[in-house]
């Protein structure tokens, strides 16, 4: 259905002046996220609330007029979770940017539009740390992190977003604002609704405030970089390390990625290596260096070609930054379809081999980076959008990689979310009965189906 | 409604021989858990399945005949979560005791009837560790731990049950068995249903298999014991420690508890102290001892009367065991009403003071132990059940402690669950709108209301 002009005027009147954008030129940048969903269209309007009450006003209006609401953070999502649909209103949290850190309770109470990096910085002012660190941490919002249950590089030791969310304020489909959980480190009063809303990708409510657990500042890290002549040798090393140690980072890059990063950053990486691992220990004091030394032994035992270790935090950060730069570096080779499949750890070599096989069969370049310690890979499928046949082959490879992950007992998405781009594969992974449970929960909380319709379900 | 005898015969026929108990003498021990809910009655029968399919048969039968099903682990619950109701069938998981540990994937796949201690032991055989450690870990089941999202002593550093549950098999109200999550360290495919079922106290489904994340074995710990002339001084120390360190245990006992433990164990504890803290560091190598030394400094700075530290694991374990023995020790003084309230950390002194005030007003003895680093306290209300007036005063104190916790921004239950005993206070804590969301989720997943009716809701 089309939104009547007087309905939009009614919404505009219900919101503070300047909150609602309807100028098509302004709307264009709100139509899709980084996934560039080909089905994206201009929304009818974009609301940019600053307060929970304004989000409530939008939802109440949307319920009355049956208008789809698309919650949106920074638009850095990679699965089309923030694709605008026809005659929808995008709720952008860009102006919801307050944060309060309580160092005694060790929590931060943040509005959703704050960047992950800003949350980290606010915590650091008090000697505290908010661990989850998606590679996009300098541009993604904490609200988006909550919506996708975002992961990152240090999650192999410190866990993902949901492990740090103590409480939420959420506006439900009918405009009711509820507080779930709160500033209590342990709280089992009632169903685990806070956890249900984390990772729900805007399909159950709009998060307007997040209460985050903070921990003492991370000690300085020691870092290891090792190169391998085969992916299997690198994967063996990952299993050997995680068997007895808890690295604070354990990342993998394949030959294509190494080359792309070296092209961009000129760091002197070994372009002939088939695989590279970057590992870190943040164990306190001298133990970090001892642990890195044990990890180096594991690399050597698996036949690493080169092993470099450093206890200089800046030098170590350069390698971590190289890893974080992998996606932009590979993006210089063409447009990307960004995968996010994960498998049980021992299946990592089979996954990486299978991806190489798909790349050969489909004749597309696929670079692989991975949060190896979590079994979570990001195959980056490179294609030229001007070459329709290649774009189609890339699209097929995208699906085949998910099929492969499912066949290995894995997941179609480790940390990016299902959004719209991966929705067709979700039933294959979780099965019809779990889809039915999902639909029942969605129906119970959003009976009109106005919250981010088309995402997940 | 009453269950017709031929309906019970139908259930018996649907299950393997010996699975269903109907002899009233045998049923008696299944009528209540440790909370000794005064409303407990004999169930009509107890099913003791060994396989998921048998649980499905019970649920399908229960749905057809509208019979309440009460899931039960070891019966060590403290909130009446396993109270049998009239004409119900208890599903006891006591015979579901298989476990497989996969040390490469670092997971355990366990049936729910295994004891927490047995899960720990199975992991330890492979040099791995399952951290959550309720004080009852030698007698409580992993299924019960999942149902209540159980905590414990090391959770202050390592998190609670939900942080280790990667996957579940659950039999839903209609008898469908679903697999949620799986052996993947990161997985955001679809709604966070695994997390929703953890802590749902048997109201949404019956857990028949749990996939648990394991981590490398815990290094040996150093331990600190300190006594204080005031609760405030001990609480100040807790805040000072958690501000910059991550102890692997940070426990509190008040004067009454110290005396009761000393009566029982004759360890030479200082009976004149108003408060005692037991703290641990399991940081690797020599760092544990360095951290304990910093914690000792914090105790001294807050005016501790005595501070004792040890890097002898056995000596340290004796103090941890003393803390774990606190509940049985206090139980020697009379019957107990066991509280489980939690508050934001800075409110800990106000909570402990308020509890002392309630004890005076109601003229009952209340011993306080606490997972202090989590702000989670266990006030133990001691009463003589033969003294009706005192039992009534204890009951009033039980409710007033929850009222106090709520007034301090806290929770009525940190780790034991709402069950039936705390149900009346849940709306006061979470509010009408969250109760409504809870009811909608419950209705969506158990429309006939046959799963543990009367618990939580």
Q: State the DSSP string of B325-388.
A: THHHHHHTTSEEEE---B--GGGHHHHHHHHHHHHHHHT-EEEEEEEGGGTEEEEEEEE-TT-H
A254, pLDDT greater than 80: yes
Of A156, A191, A342, the CB nearest to B196: A191
Quick one: average pLDDT of B80-97?
98
Percent of chain A with pLDDT over 70: 100
Q: How many residues would you count in chain A?
A: 457
For the segment B179-221, what is each residue's pLDDT rounded down to a tens digit? 999 999 999 999 999 999 999 999 999 999 999 999 999 999 9
Quick one: average pLDDT of A255-281?
96
Rounded to 5°, angle at Cα A220 from A219 and A223: 130
Instruction: For chain B, give the mean pLDDT.
Output: 96
Per-residue confidence at B398, pLDDT binned at 50, 70, 90?
Answer: very high
Q: 3-state SS of chain A: helix, strand, coil percent to 5?
A: 40, 20, 40
What Cα–Cα distance (Å) separates residue A183 from each residue in A296, B148, B280? Answer: 41, 19, 24
Q: Cβ-count burial of B435 within 10 angstroms (0-12 exposed, 13-18 middle, 19+ buried)?
A: middle
Quick one: average pLDDT of B394-419?
98
Closest-CA residue of chain B to A377: B186
Closest-CA residue of chain A to B239: A104
Of A160, A186, A430, the CB nearest to B414: A186
Which of B199, B193, B133 lies closest to B169, judged by CA? B193
At A5 the pLDDT is 85
Per-residue confidence at B285, pLDDT binned at 50, 70, 90?
Answer: confident
- Reduce the DSSP state of residue B254 to 3 states and report it: strand
What Cα–Cα distance (Å) separates residue B185 from each residue in A377, B110, B252? Answer: 12, 17, 34
Which of B414, B428, B426, B418 lies closest to B452, judged by CA? B418
User: Mutate which of B81, B179, B186 to test chain A, going by most A C-beta atoms within 10 A?
Assistant: B186
Q: Which residues of A touch B433 (CB under 8 A)?
A: 172, 176-178
At A1 the pLDDT is 59
Q: Which residues of B touch A290 (CB under 8 A)?
A: 284-285
Are A162 and B195 a contacting pair at CB < 8 A?
yes
Task: Please compute, for residue B106, the number of CA atoms within 13 A of its CA located in the half-sphere on the CB side.
Answer: 27
- ipTM score for this prediction: 0.97
A62, pLDDT greater than 80: yes
Residue B381 to residue B394: CA distance in whole angstroms: 6
Q: Which residues contact B217 (CB under 8 A, 6 or more apart)?
A: B124, B127, B128, B129
The answer to whether the CB of B183 falls within 8 A of the CB of A346 is: no
At A285 the pLDDT is 86
Residue B226 to residue B308: CA distance in whole angstroms: 6
User: Mutate which of B189, B286, B439 to test chain A, going by most A C-beta atoms within 10 A?
Assistant: B189
Quick one: average pLDDT of A172-176?
98
Per-residue confidence at A371, pLDDT binned at 50, 70, 90?
Answer: very high
A456 CA: distance to closest CA in chain B (Å):
6
Task: Please compute, for residue B278, the number of CA atoms within 13 A of its CA located in the half-sphere on the CB side.
Answer: 24
Task: Detail the DSSP E strand segments found in A247-290.
Answer: 249-254, 275-281
Which of B319, B249, B314 lies closest to B280, judged by CA? B249
Residue A417 to residue A423: CA distance in whole angstroms: 9
At B328 the pLDDT is 92
Of B186, B200, B239, the CB nearest to A376: B186
The answer to whether the CB of B277 falls within 8 A of the CB of B224 is: yes
Interface A:B, Cβ pairs < 8 A: 279
At B4 the pLDDT is 85
Residue A434 to residue A436: CA distance in whole angstroms: 5
Which of A120, A171, A159 lies closest to A142, judged by CA? A120
Q: Which residues of B touch A151 (CB under 8 A)?
A: 186, 188
Task: Please compute, for residue A264, the number of CA atoms within 13 A of its CA located in the half-sphere on the CB side.
Answer: 18
Residue B281 to residue A253: CA distance in whole angstroms: 35
Quick one: average pLDDT of A89-98?
98
Sheet arrangement for strand B335-338: B306-310, B222-228, B275-281, B249-254, B365-371, B376-383, B335-338
At A191 the pLDDT is 98
Quick one: average pLDDT of B227-252?
95
Residue B238 to residue B410: CA distance in whole angstroms: 17
At A85 the pLDDT is 97
Task: Detail the DSSP E strand segments found in A214-301.
Answer: 215-216, 222-228, 249-254, 275-281
Residue B179 to residue B310: CA distance in whole angstroms: 45
Percent of chain A with pLDDT over 90: 97
Phi, psi of B275 (to 5 degrees): -155, 150
At B2 the pLDDT is 82
At B296 the pLDDT is 98
Closest-CA residue of chain A to B426: A189
Q: Which residues of A touch B163 (CB under 8 A)?
A: 159, 163
What Cα–Cα distance (Å) separates residue B59 from each residue in B171, B384, B419? Answer: 8, 40, 21
At A368 the pLDDT is 97
Which domains, ranges and CATH numbers included, belong to chain B? 5-92 (3.30.43.10), 99-216 (3.30.465.10), 222-327 (3.30.70.2190), 333-427 (3.30.70.2740)
Closest-CA residue of chain A to B242: A216
Rounded to 5°, angle at Cα A211 from A207 and A216: 145
Neighbours of A133 (CB within 10 A): 21
The answer to whether the CB of A57 falls within 8 A of the CB of A100 is: no
Are A178 and B242 a contacting pair at CB < 8 A?
no
Are A184 and B375 a contacting pair at CB < 8 A?
yes
Residue A146 to residue B448: CA distance in whole angstroms: 33
What Cα–Cα distance (Å) separates residue A17 from each residue in A28, A48, A50, B65, B381? Answer: 21, 11, 12, 59, 57
At A2 the pLDDT is 82
- Reduce the DSSP state of residue B132 to 3 states and report it: coil
- Reduce the DSSP state of residue A99 to 3 states and report it: strand
Which of B336, B429, B420, B414 lies closest to B377, judged by CA? B414
Neighbours of B238 (CB within 10 A): 27
A388 CA: distance to closest CA in chain B (Å):
29
B330 CA: distance to closest CA in chain A (Å):
24
Maximum distance among all Cα pairs of chain A, rounded to whole angstroms: 71
Which of A91, A56, A34, A142 lies closest to A452, judged by CA? A91
The answer to whether the CB of B76 falls within 8 A of the CB of B64 is: no
Instruction: Return the H-helix or E-strand segment holding A210.
Output: strand A206-213
Which of A411, A153, A242, A414 lies closest to B105, judged by CA? A242
At B1 the pLDDT is 60
B435 CA: distance to closest CA in chain A (Å):
8
Which of A376, A145, A425, A84 lies closest to B190, judged by CA? A425
Closest-CA residue of chain B to A285: B287
Rounded to 5°, angle at Cα A283 from A281 and A287: 100
Are B184 and A410 a contacting pair at CB < 8 A?
yes
Rounded to 5°, angle at Cα A32 from A31 and A33: 145
Closest-CA residue of chain B to A105: B345
B375, pLDDT greater than 80: yes
């Amino acid at each position: 259905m089309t939104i009547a002009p007087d309905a939009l005027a009614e919404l505009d009147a219900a919101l503070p002046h300047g909150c609602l954008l309807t100028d098509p030129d302004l709307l264009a940048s709100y139509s899709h996220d980084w996934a560039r969903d080909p089905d994206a269209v201009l929304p009818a309007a974009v609301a940019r609330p600053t307060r929970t009450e304004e989000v409530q006003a939008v939802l109440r209006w949307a319920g009355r007029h049956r208008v789809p609401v698309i919650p949106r953070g920074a638009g850095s999502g990679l699965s089309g979770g923030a694709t605008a649909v026809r005659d929808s209103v995008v709720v952008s949290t860009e102006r919801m940017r307050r944060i309060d850190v309580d160092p005694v309770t060790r929590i931060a109470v943040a509005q959703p539009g704050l960047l992950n990096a800003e949350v980290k910085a606010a915590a650091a002012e008090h000697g505290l740390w908010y661990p989850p660190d998606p590679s996009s941490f300098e541009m993604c919002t904490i609200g988006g992190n909550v919506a996708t249950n975002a992961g990152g590089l240090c999650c192999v030791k410190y866990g993902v977003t949901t492990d740090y969310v103590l409480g939420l304020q959420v506006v439900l489909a009918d405009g009711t604002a509820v507080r779930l959980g709160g500033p209590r480190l342990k709280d089992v009063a009632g169903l685990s609704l806070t956890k249900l809303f984390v990772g729900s990708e805007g399909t159950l409510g709009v998060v307007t405030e997040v209460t985050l657990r903070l921990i003492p500042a991370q000690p300085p890290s020691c870092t290891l970089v090792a190169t391998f002549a085969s992916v299997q040798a690198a994967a063996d090393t990952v299993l050997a390390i995680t068997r007895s140690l808890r690295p604070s980072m354990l990342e993998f890059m394949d030959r294509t990625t190494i080359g792309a990063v070296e092209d961009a950053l000129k760091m002197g990486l070994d372009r002939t290596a088939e695989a590279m691992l970057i590992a870190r220990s943040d164990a306190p004091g001298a133990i970090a260096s001892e642990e890195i030394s044990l990890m180096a032994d594991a690399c050597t035992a698996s036949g690493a070609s080169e092993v470099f270790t450093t206890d200089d935090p800046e030098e170590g950060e350069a390698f971590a930054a190289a890893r974080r730069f992998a996606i932009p570096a590979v993006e210089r080779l063409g447009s990307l379809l960004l995968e996010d499949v994960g498998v049980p750890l021992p299946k990592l070599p089979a996954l990486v081999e299978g991806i190489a096989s798909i790349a050969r069969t489909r004749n597309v370049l696929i670079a692989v980076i991975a949060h190896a310690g979590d079994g979570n890979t990001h195959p980056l499928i490179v294609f030229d959008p001007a070459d329709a046949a290649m774009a189609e082959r890339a699209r097929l490879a995208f699906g085949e990689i998910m099929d492969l992950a499912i066949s290995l007992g894995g997941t179609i998405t480790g940390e990016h979310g299902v959004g719209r781009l991966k929705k067709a594969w979700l039933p294959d992974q979780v099965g019809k009965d779990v889809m039915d449970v999902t639909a029942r929960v969605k129906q119970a909380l959003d009976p009109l189906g106005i919250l981010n319709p088309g995402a997940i379900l």
